[in-house]
C-alpha cells in the first residue's frame, strides 16, 4: 500500500477526526483527503504526469502537507527543499531533476523566478499564500487549485517501488545529492517507527522540524498512517511559545534535535512534569549529550525518551529504547525493527565488539540510489540477500550486546541545527567576496546547535573586512543555517606537505581540503 493510500484509509476510518493543525488552520482527515484529491486532479489537468518531479519550497503549513499527498495521488515525486534556499542552488536542482513544476510560498516567488531564468526552464509555477488582489502573471494560485467541487478521485497507483521522494542532502563535494526513496522505502521506515514508538490514533505530535527534512517528513507520514494528529509549527525561535503550544494541544509526542533540548532545559523556571500529556520525546539528527538527556528526563519524569540515529539515505537506522538511556547514555541503540545495522572492518567483514569500523545498514528502508549519480550510488550501495546495503560513511563501534556507538563522520560535513552543511559550499561563498585570499570552514562544538559553522579567513594585503562584513556577505548567498556564526582572521592557514589547508585539533574540528576556486 503506497503512502497516499494510507491517507485514504485513515480518511475512511477517521473522517471527522482532526488530522492536521497548522497555525489557525485545522483539517479533518476527510478535508485533507479532499483537498489533496483536488490538487492531484488540478495538477494532472495542468500536465503533471506520473513520475514527474515537483519542487516544493514551502514552510511548515497546511499547504505543504496537502502538496505532499496531492503529488503522491497524481503519481508525481515531491522534492521538498529548505524554505530559505537561494536561487543559484535552486537553479541547479531544477536542472538536475528536470522538474515539471515548483510550488512555493509567496515570499519565495522572486527566488523561484530568478532560479527558473538561470536554469533556462519553464516549469509550472504555483504560489501559496499570495495576496488575493495581486496579479500573479503566469503563476497559478494554490488556493484556486484546491477549491471547488471535489473531483473524481485520481486513479490509484499500485507500484510501491515507484519513486516517492527526492530529498537533497549536501555531499562532501559541495554539490547537493538527490536521495531517491521509494514508497516502499518510506512505508518500511515509518512502519518500524510506529512499532517502536507505539504510535496510535490517540497521538498528537507537535513538530517544528522542517518538511524538507526526512525527520520532519516521517512525523507527517506516521500520523497519517495511524490516524493521529499532526501539529505543525514553523520554527523553534521562541521556545516558550512552543512549550505553551504543547500544553494547549495536549501533545503526546514531541520530536526534537539536541539544540532544542538544550534551549528547553536551559529555561530556569519550568516545573518538572509541567506537560502531563506528553508521553514521548524523540531525538535524532545529532548525538544527544548524556548530560542533556539526563536534564530532559528530570524535567519530564514521565516521558519515554528515544535516542535515534539515521541518514537521509534510509530515514532512520537505529533507536535506543528508553530503558537503556541511563544504562548506555552514549549509545544510539540497535537497528530499527525489520532491518539490520552493524559495523564492518576495512575488508567488509563484521567487526568484533569494541572495534571501530564503518556502520552499514540493510533493510527495505534503504534508498534506491542517488538521482543521476550512478558512481556515488555504486559507492554507497551494494547488493545483499536482503536487498541493499547502505555504506553510511560513519565510523561506529558496537559493544558486546550489539548496541551501537557513533564515533565520528568519515567526511567533513558539519551538522548544525539538524541540517548538513558542506564546508566547500560555504568556502565558495567566502571566496566570492573581494579581498578574501584564503578561506576554510569547520564545525566547532556548540552547546545549542551541536556544531556551529566557523570561517577562517586570510585577507589580501591592504584589505580590511570585519566579521560582520563577512557574515553579511554569506547571508546573501547561503541558507541561514549555512552562514558562519563566527569568523577568525589569520595571517595564514596551516597546510599539509601537499599544500592542502589543514585545520588542526585546536580549532575543535580537523578539516583537510584543497582550495576552492
The answer to whether 71 and 40 have CB atoms below 8 angstroms apart is yes
Output the pLDDT for position 4: 97
pLDDT of 70-96, one tens digit each? 999 999 999 999 999 999 999 999 999
Which grid cell sits at 97?
A: 531533476
The answer to whether 236 and 481 have CB atoms below 8 angstroms apart is no
Alpha helices in 179-338 (DSSP H): 183-197, 214-226, 239-249, 258-265, 290-299, 322-325
Claim to verify: residue 32 and residue 133 sit in the same structural domain: yes
Output the pLDDT for position 171: 57
Average pLDDT over residues 4-16: 97
Whether 61 is in a domain gets the answer: yes
Whether 463 is in a domain gets the answer: yes
pLDDT of 110-119, one tens digit each? 999 999 999 9
Whether 220 is in a domain gets the answer: yes
Burial class (CB in 10 A: 0-12, 13-18, 19+), 228: buried
One DSSP character per residue, 364-425 reads: TTS--EETT-HHHHHHHEEEETTEEEEEEEEEEEE-TT--EEEEEESS--EEETTEEE-HHH
Other Cβ atoms closer than 10 A to 49: 11
For residue 174, what pLDDT band results from cuts at 50, 70 and 90? low
Q: What percent of the chain has pLDDT over 90?
A: 75
Whether 491 is in a domain gets the answer: yes
**Closest to 196 in 3D by CA, of 277, 308, 286:** 308
202 contacts: CB under 8 Å, gap ≥ 6 = 228, 252
Average pLDDT over residues 228-241: 95
One DSSP character per residue, 116-161 reads: HHHHT---EEEEES--TTS--TTPEEHHHHT-SSPPPPPPP---TT
Q: How far apart are CA 358 and CA 369, in angstroms?
A: 19
Output the pLDDT for position 499: 44
Whether 77 is in a domain gets the answer: yes
Average pLDDT over residues 408-414: 72
- Which strand (E) or helix (H) includes residue 442? strand 436-446
Claim to verify: residue 425 and residue 508 sit in the same structural domain: yes
Other Cβ atoms closer than 10 A to 517: 5
Which grid cell sits at 129?
A: 499564500
Output the pLDDT for position 492: 85
Q: How far apart are CA 407 and CA 400, in angstroms?
A: 16
Q: How far apart are CA 499 and CA 54, in angstroms?
A: 43
Q: How far apart are CA 408 and CA 312, in angstroms?
A: 17
Please state which of the ranges 392-396, 451-455, 505-509 shows the lowest mean pLDDT: 505-509
The answer to whether 321 and 305 have CB atoms below 8 angstroms apart is no
Say yes or no to pLDDT of 517 above 60: no
Claim to verify: residue 118 and residue 206 sit in the same structural domain: no
Phi, psi of 303 (to 5 degrees): -85, 160
Output the pLDDT for position 258: 87
Q: How far apart are CA 343 and CA 325, in angstroms?
A: 21
Claim to verify: residue 138 and residue 249 sit in the same structural domain: no
Report the mean per-residue pLDDT for the chain.
91
Claim to verify: residue 431 and residue 487 sit in the same structural domain: yes
Q: Give the residue from 302, 330, 364 where a domain finishes.
A: 302
Average pLDDT over residues 324-334: 94
What CATH number does residue 138 fall under? 3.40.50.980
What CATH number does residue 451 fall under? 3.30.300.30
Q: Give the residue from 245, 271, 302 where a domain finishes.
A: 302
Q: How far apart are CA 508 and CA 504, in angstroms?
A: 7
Number of domains in the chain: 3
pLDDT of 144-169, one tens digit each? 999 987 677 677 888 999 999 999 98
Query: Which residues span the domain enclosing 55?
Result: 3-9+28-158
Q: How far apart are CA 292 and CA 450, in angstroms?
A: 11
Whether 393 is in a domain gets the answer: no
How far is residue 4 from each of residues 214, 222, 333, 493, measured CA to CA in Å? 17, 12, 31, 52
**Closest to 322 in 3D by CA, of 343, 300, 354, 353:** 300
For residue 511, what pLDDT band results from cuts at 50, 70 and 90? very low
Claim to verify: residue 123 and residue 207 sit in the same structural domain: no
Q: How far apart are CA 171 and CA 205, in angstroms?
A: 31
Place of cell 576495512: 346
Other Cβ atoms closer than 10 A to 323: 8
Per the model's pLDDT, the better-predicted residue between 289 and 459 turns out to be 459
Q: Give the residue from 140, 158, 176 where a domain finishes.
A: 158
Claim to verify: residue 113 and residue 50 sit in the same structural domain: yes
Claim to verify: residue 495 and residue 419 sit in the same structural domain: yes
- Which strand (E) or helix (H) includes residue 44? helix 29-45
Which grid cell sits at 120?
A: 533556462
Output the pLDDT for position 236: 92
For residue 385, what pLDDT band results from cuts at 50, 70 and 90? confident
3-class SS of residue 293: helix
Claim to verify: residue 127 and residue 233 sit in the same structural domain: no
Whether 499 is in a domain gets the answer: yes
Whether 59 is in a domain gets the answer: yes
Predicted TM-score (pTM) of this structure: 0.85
Output the pLDDT for position 449: 83
CA angle, corner 283, sides to 1 and 6, nearest 5?
15
Q: How far apart are CA 53 and CA 56, in angstroms?
A: 10
Other Cβ atoms closer than 10 A to 402: 13
Phi, psi of 382 (to 5 degrees): -140, 145
Please state which of the ranges 144-153, 243-252, 342-351, 401-410 shows the lowest mean pLDDT: 144-153
359 contacts: CB under 8 Å, gap ≥ 6 = 317, 341, 342, 343, 392, 394, 395, 396, 404
Q: How far apart are CA 419 and CA 121, in angstroms?
A: 29
Q: How far apart are CA 59 and CA 104, in angstroms?
A: 9
Say yes or no to pLDDT of 495 above 80: no
- Which strand (E) or helix (H) includes residue 96? helix 87-97
Claim to verify: residue 205 and residue 149 sit in the same structural domain: no
Claim to verify: residue 142 and residue 237 sit in the same structural domain: no
Claim to verify: residue 206 and residue 127 sit in the same structural domain: no
Amino acid at each position: 500500500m503506497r503512502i497516499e493510500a494510507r491517507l485514504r484509509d485513515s480518511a475512511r476510518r477517521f473522517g471527522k477526526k482532526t488530522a492536521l493543525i497548522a497555525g489557525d488552520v485545522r483539517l479533518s482527515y476527510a478535508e485533507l483527503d479532499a483537498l489533496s484529491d483536488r490538487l492531484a486532479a488540478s495538477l494532472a489537468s495542468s500536465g503533471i504526469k506520473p513520475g514527474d518531479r515537483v519542487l516544493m519550497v514551502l514552510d511548515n503549513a497546511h499547504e505543504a502537507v496537502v502538496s505532499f499527498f496531492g503529488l503522491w495521488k497524481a503519481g508525481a515525486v515531491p522534492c521538498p527543499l529548505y524554505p530559505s534556499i537561494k536561487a543559484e542552488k535552486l537553479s541547479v536542482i531544477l536542472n538536475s531533476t528536470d522538474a515539471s513544476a515548483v510550488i512555493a510560498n509567496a515570499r519565495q516567488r522572486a527566488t523561484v523566478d530568478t532560479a527558473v531564468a538561470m536554469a533556462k526552464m519553464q516549469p509550472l509555477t504555483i504560489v501559496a499564500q499570495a495576496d488575493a488582489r495581486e496579479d500573479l502573471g503566469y503563476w497559478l494560485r494554490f488556493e484556486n487549485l484546491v477549491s471547488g467541487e471535489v473531483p473524481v478521485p485520481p486513479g490509484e497507483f499500485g507500484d510501491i517501488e515507484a519513486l516517492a521522494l527526492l530529498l537533497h542532502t549536501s555531499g562532501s563535494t559541495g554539490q547537493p545529492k538527490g536521495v531517491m526513496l521509494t514508497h516502499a522505502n518510506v512505508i518500511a521506515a515509518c512502519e518500524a517507527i510506529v512499532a517502536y514508538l507505539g504510535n496510535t490514533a490517540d497521538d498528537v505530535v507537535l513538530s517544528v522540524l522542517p518538511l524538507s527534512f526526512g525527520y520532519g517528513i516521517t512525523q507527517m507520514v506516521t500520523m497519517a498512517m495511524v490516524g493521529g494528529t499532526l501539529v505543525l509549527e514553523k520554527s523553534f525561535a521562541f521556545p516558550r511559545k512552543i512549550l505553551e503550544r504543547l500544553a494547549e494541544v495536549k501533545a503526546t509526542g514531541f520530536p526534537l534535535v539536541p539544540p532544542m533540548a538544550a534551549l528547553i532545559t536551559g529555561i530556569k523556571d519550568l516545573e518538572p512534569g509541567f506537560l502531563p500529556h506528553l508521553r514521548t520525546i524523540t531525538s535524532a539528527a545529532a548525538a544527544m549529550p548524556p548530560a542533556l538527556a539526563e536534564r530532559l528526563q528530570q524535567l519530564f519524569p514521565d516521558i519515554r525518551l528515544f535516542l535515534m540515529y539515521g541518514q537521509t539515505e534510509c530515514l532512520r537506522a537505529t533507536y535506543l529504547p528508553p530503558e537503556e538511556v541511563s544504562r548506555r547514555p552514549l549509545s544510539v541503540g540497535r537497528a530499527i525493527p525489520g532491518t539490520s545495522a552493524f559495523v564492518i572492518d576495512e575488508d567488509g567483514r563484521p567487526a568484533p565488539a569494541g572495534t571501530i569500523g564503518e556502520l552499514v545498514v540493510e533493510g527495505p528502508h534503504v534508498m534506491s540510489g542517488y538521482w543521476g549519480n550512478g558512481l556515488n550510488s555504486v559507492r554507497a550501495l551494494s547488493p545483499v540477500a536482503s536487498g541493499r546495503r547502505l555504506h553510511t560513511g560513519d565510523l561506529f563501534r558496537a559493544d558486546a550486546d550489539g548496541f551501537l556507538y557513533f564515533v565520528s563522520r568519515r567526511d567533513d560535513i558539519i551538522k548544525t541545527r539538524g541540517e548538513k552543511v558542506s564546508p566547500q559550499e560555504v568556502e565558495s561563498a567566502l571566496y566570492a567576496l573581494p579581498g578574501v585570499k584564503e578561506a576554510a570552514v569547520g564545525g566547532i562544538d556548540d552547546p545549542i546547535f551541536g556544531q556551529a559553522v566557523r570561517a577562517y579567513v586570510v585577507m589580501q594585503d591592504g584589505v580590511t573586512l570585519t566579521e560582520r562584513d563577512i557574515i553579511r556577505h554569506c547571508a546573501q548567498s547561503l541558507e541561514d543555517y549555512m552562514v558562519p556564526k563566527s569568523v577568525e582572521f589569520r595571517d595564514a592557514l596551516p597546510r599539509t606537505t601537499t599544500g592542502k589547508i589543514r585545520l588542526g585539533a585546536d580549532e575543535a574540528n580537523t578539516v583537510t581540503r584543497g582550495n576552492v576556486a
